[in-house]
Homo-oligomer: A and B are copies of this chain.
Amino acid sequence: MFNFEFYNPTKIVFGRDTVTRLSTLVPTNARVLILFGGASAQKNGTLDEVKAALGTREVHEFSGIEPNPSYETLMRAVEHVRREKIDFLLAVGGGSVIDGTKFIAAAANFDGEPWDIAVKGGANITSALPFGAVLTLPATGSEMNNGGVVTRKSIQAKLAFHSPLVYPQFSILDPSKTFTLPPRQIANGVVDAFVHTMEQYLTYPVNGQVQDRFAEGLLLSLIETGPLVLAETNDYDARANLMWVATLALNGLIGAGVPQDWATHMIGHELTAQYDIDHARTLAIVLPSLLNVQRGNKHAKLLQYAARVWNITEGSEEARIDQAIQNTRDFFESMGIKTRLGDYELGQAAIDIVVTQLSAHGMTKLGEHKDITLEVSRKILEGAL
């Protein structure tokens, strides 16, 4: 096991009818800015619930934080924060709204051009406004971690940042808030959480027993819960399991002390940037092919994954690995998520463009061994045709 640090001070308030807890979680004298995406928070009543729970506090609203939140939009929120002397932010939404709120929290207190926060990956954050979240879409884990991604449209850049100063103070997770989500977003959430787990698990063994068992536990839960959340919109327990799995898949716990990959995400980001394919769908395209191309490096862990997650213990080692990769692909497809570039009407030309973009962004040594060169990325994409 590698040496590691684990620190996560976000308070999770989980369950039915927990939005009312805002009345005690937010300071009583706070000047609050509620941040959200589009009309859904209004339509499904969550926004009204949030405002009711905030009572007599001074409450402002900022809507329009888009998927893959843009610097341009977020800076308008920063102006609002500064102008109105806001001192507490409240994100109501999914990963994009929470990521955006983290950036706003840091940018509002930043001395200089806030885009530098993204350029430096958050290392230059020295203070941030306090904030909380009401999660409505289980997927990214942003509700219990200290990272975010921000996109600057004008220069086509999408950058990640991290800082111990941008953990949410609290996150409210009410699974019944997901009942109104479209199936496409639920399916994306399942695949996103699955691949987050795989990026921290499917590398090489370092005898991190708990990390392996916990990662396998998340994968097994997703395999069990995935069909249930798609089949029935009002199955509270299934939604609760998905929500808690997605949070734990990226809160730092399963990745502590073990190697991590993240090449699937880096290649997937380029597909989203170029072709506007949903983040989770790009992961479903890349991962099965990446596991196949990297099967040498990942041999031992692939066999462990086959046995413990898919109960595949018969046949030659290579046959077991083939079957485990096939099962992974089949699981994504069973969620209604296509796993081939061709399904998105992309072919060899797209691969050339994506590899060029990877090169332009310095993504030339990816993976847990830094051995996924541009040539290997090309092979992975060709395997996904």
Contact = CB atoms under 8 A, between A and B. Distances in A.
Contacts of A14: 3-6, 256-257
Given A210-B218, A217-B210, A257-B244, A7 B12 contact: yes
Interface in A230-251: 237, 240-241, 244-245, 248
Interface residues of A, number: 38
B241 A209 contact: yes
A224 interface: yes
Copies in the complex: 2
Contacts of A257: 14-15, 240, 244
Nearest to A7: B11
Contacts of A11: 5-7
Interface of A: 1-16, 18, 207-210, 213-214, 216-218, 220-221, 224-225, 237, 240-241, 244-245, 248, 256-257
Nearest to A6: B12
A210 B6 contact: no
For the complex of A and B, 4 pairs with smallest distance between CB atoms: A3-B15, A213-B217, A9-B9, A7-B11
Nearest to A242: B209
Given A4-B12, A213-B214, A213-B220, 14 more contacts: A1-B237, A2-B15, A4-B14, A5-B14, A6-B11, A7-B11, A14-B257, A207-B237, A209-B224, A209-B241, A210-B221, A210-B241, A216-B217, A240-B257
Most chain B beta-carbon neighbours within 10 Å: one of A9, A13, A210, A213: A210
Nearest to A224: B209
B209 A221 contact: yes
Contacts of A15: 1-4, 257
A245 B210 contact: yes
B1 A5 contact: no
Nearest to A257: B14
A313 to B, nearest CB: 12
Contacts of A237: 1, 207
B5 A12 contact: yes
A16 to B, nearest CB: 6
